Amino acid sequence: MRIDAYNKISQVYQTNTIQKTTKTTNIKSTDQVEISRTAKDYQIAKQAVAAAADIREDKIKDIKSRFESGTYNVSMKEVANTVVEKYFEKTI
């Protein structure tokens, strides 16, 4: 190994010199967080969905009364069409 080559390279890159660090001045800064309008809209929508009831009682009462009275009739063709539509909505 050639030591003289190492010495020349260290002189080029000045690896042997000591550099002093400078003291930084007092900088007063604060962190800030800014929420976008889209995020605010999303938060409002999420709160509205959370406040809404999971079950629509009015629809359930209507279907229940029609089912008990015997007037609730569902076509098997409609059920099949709905199932197929929902299946293809999820796979696309």
DSSP secondary structure of 27-57: ----------HHHHHHHHHHHHHHHS-SS-H
pLDDT at 17: 66
- pLDDT number for residue 1: 53
Pair 37, 31: CB distance under 8 Å? no
- pLDDT tens for the chain, residues 1 to 92: 555 666 677 666 766 667 777 777 777 778 888 999 999 999 999 999 888 878 888 888 998 999 899 898 888 999 999 999 989 887 65
Whole-angstrom distance, CA of residue 65 vs CA of residue 87: 30
> Domain limits of the chain?
36-92
Supply the pLDDT for residue 15: 61
Task: Please indicate, yes or no, whether the overall pTM of this predicted structure exceeds 0.85.
Answer: no
